[in-house]
Structure 1
Amino acid sequence: MRIGLVGVGRIGAFHAATLKGLPAVDQVVVADADPGRAEVVAKELGLEYAADVPALLDSGVDGFVIAAATSAHAGLIEAGLAAGVPTFCEKPVALDLEETSRVVALVEGSTVPVHIGFQRRFDAGYQAAREAVATGELGFVHHVRANTNDAFPPHQSYIPQSGGFFRDCTVHDFDIIRYVTGREVVSVYAAGANRGEAFFGEYGDVDSAAALLTLDDSTFVAVSGTRYNGAGHDVRMELHGSLGSIAVGLDSHTALRSAEPGVAFPDGQPHMTFMDRFQPAYVAELTAFTEVVAGTREVPCTVRDALAAFRIAEACELSRHENRLVTLDEIA
């Protein structure tokens, strides 16, 4: 099959290379807001390139992958729908709740499949944890801990279009919490701080944050994250139940060291980027998209899933600003 991809920045070029290596993909065609950059990446990876998105969609692509800036996501999803091409879009759907809801309505009123990119759903550890919850292996789950700690902050230019820490970073935790537990969030209490570069505060953002979520079965979830984790890129989840506990992301690469005498674990090299940490998950995710394109698989992560995670992020942002408990019923 022939896959078109728009946006050849860091994650876009990474996706293009991944797509090129998939058995189901015969050709990848790339485009970018900067046509020169698309040409350079295409030549580096041995791909085709198009002058712009209309040219890309008119070139006979079977699937459309969106890895452009977040501010362009909604419009590009609409372009994919209009062209009748199965579409994959990196999270989030849009920068605000109103636009996200509008796109959800458009997608759900169409027959064109749209797959949203939350790659943790395709990570083997998270899938095993989901199975442990679903089978009752852990008994009833009473506490969950989830963290996303970046080894270093993004460039300043990324922050104004990111949507803020909860919408950009911990939204991955919010989605995977729903996926693993099978439950919905009913309330949040969140806080954030800016301990590093001043530019986070200049854009009304934070570089470290924490939230206490309560699920609809009274499970408590502690979520934390930072842009400054010098030990490495650290993404983990712990689930504690009446019959047992399980951890995701606890292996030789975990960016953590023990203070106990004589304990050498973890003893491997920590991951330094999310692409390193989740490389197998990204391959599995894009493989799933090719199956969606082929019509052999239902969309594994829908725009409505993205909306649900975004509403939790909105609730956390409101809680942070107003320093109070916020229920999800308050988020339209």
Structure 2
Amino acid sequence: MRIGILGLGRIGAFHAETLSGLDAVDSLVLTDPVADAAKSAAERFGGEVVDSPEALLSAGVDGIVVAAATDAHPALILAGVEAGVPVFCEKPVARTMPEGVEVLRAVEGAGVPIQIGYNRRFDAGFVAARAAVRGGELGTLHTVRSTTLDPAPPPAGYIAASGGIFRDCSVHDFDIIRWVTGREVSEVYAVGGNRGADYIARAGDADTTSAILTLDDGTLAVVSNSRHNGRGYDVRMELHGFRDSIAVGLEDKLPLRSVEPGTAFPAGTPHDFFMDRFAAAYRAELTAFTEVVAGTRTSPCTVADALEAGWIAEACTRSLHEHRPVTVAEIRQA
């Protein structure tokens, strides 16, 4: 099949490399507002370079991968749907929830599949955790802990346009909690602080946060996030039930040092970036998209799925700023 990629920055180039290695993909068509970015990706991974999204959609592509800036996501998703071409789009669907809802309304009933990029759904550990929960191995869940700690904060320009740590970073935790447990979030309480880069505070954001999520069955989920984790990129999940407890990410590349006498775990080189931690998951995610394009599976993460994680992020953002519990229903009605 022939896949188009719109946006050849860091993640777009990474997707080009991954797609170029998939057996199902015969060729790539690439475009980026910065022509040199598309040209560089074509030289490294192969593919035809065109000068616009319109030209790409006219180039006989079977599916498109949207890796452009967030502001461009709604228009590019809709362009793909209008052309009848299956769409993979990196999260978020749109910069704001009202825009995301507009996209959902516009694509409902169109019959064109859309997959939103939440890669943790394709990580082997999270897949196994979901199977354990859904299979009843843990018994009734009572506590979930989900962690995302970045080794260093993004640049000031990125932070200013990110929408805040809950919308940009924690939203991955929110999505995977929903996906693994099969439950919805009813209420949140979030706190945060600034102990590092001054530009994060100046942007009105926190660099370290914690949120307590109450799920619709009473399970409590604790989400911990930080832009500062000097030992590496730390993504983990714990799930505790009345019968058993399990962990995702408890492996030798875990960026956490034990000080227990005689303990050698973890012994590996810590993960230092999300592309390192989730390389296999990204490959599985894009393999799934080729199956969506081929019509052999339905979208594993729809626009509606992505918006659910977005509502939780909005609730946490309000809770942080207003210092109070916030229900997701309240946010939906705002």
Give the TM-score, by structure 2 length: 0.98
Counterpart residue number, 2:39: 39
RMSD: 0.8
Render the CA deviation track for 1:213-266: whole Å, top value 9, x for unaligned. Answer: 000110000001111100100000000000010000000000001121010100
Task: Spell out, residue by residue over 1:35-63, the C-alpha distance to the aligned partner (whole angstroms, 9 max, x if none).
Answer: 22211221122222111111111111000
Tell me whether 1:63 sits opposite 2:57 in the alignment: no
Match of residue 305 from structure 2: 305
Q: Which residue of 2 aligns with 1:117?
A: 117
Moved more, 270-279 or 39-48: 39-48
| Match of residue 30 from structure 1 | 30
Give the Å deviation of 1:274. 0.4
Answer yes or no: is 1:15 the counterpart of 2:15.
yes
SS in 2 for 1:209: strand
Once the two structures are superposed, the pairs formed by residues 172-251 of structure 1 within 5 Å of their partners are: 172-251=172-251
For residue 314 of structure 1, report the CA deviation from its aligned partner. Answer: 0.2
Q: Deviations over 1:158-217 (max 9, x none)?
A: 122212100010100000000000000000000111221111122222211110000011
Code of the aligned partner of 2:303 = V
1:235-314 aligned within 5 A: 235-314=235-314
* Whole-angstrom CA distance in 1 between matches of 2:236 and 2:25: 32
Offset, 1:310: 0.1
**What amino acid sits opposite 1:11 in the alignment?**
I
Give the AA of the match of 1:75: A
2:96 and 2:107 mapped to 1: Cα distance? 17
In 2, Cα distance between the equivalents of 1:33 and 1:208?
34
* Whole-angstrom distance in 1 between the partners of 2:188 and 2:136: 26
Distance (whole Å) between structure 2 residues aligned to residue 201 and residue 72 of structure 1: 27
- Which has the larger displacement, 200-209 or 309-318? 200-209
User: Runs (4+) of structure 1 moved beyond 6 Å?
Assistant: none
Counterpart Cα distance in 2 of 1:251 and 1:216: 31
TM-score normalised by the chain length of structure 1: 0.98
Q: Which runs of 5+ in 1 are unaligned?
A: none
User: What is the rounded CA distance, in whole Å, between the counterparts of 1:215 and 1:114 in structure 2?
Assistant: 27
- Structure 2: tracts of 5 or more residues without a match: none
What percent of counterpart residues are identical? 60
Residues of 2 paired with 1:151 and 1:84: CA distance? 40
Q: Distance in 1 between matches of 2:286 and 2:248?
A: 22
Q: Which moved more, 1:168-177 or 1:26-35?
A: 26-35
Judge which range, 199-208 or 168-177, deviates more. 199-208
SS at match of 1:169: helix
Provide, for residues 5-47 of structure 1, a one-character-per-residue CA deviation record: whole Å limited to 9, x for no partner.
Answer: 0111111100000000000000011111212221122112222
The number of residues matched between the two structures is: 332
1-structure distance, mates of 2:103, 2:295: 22
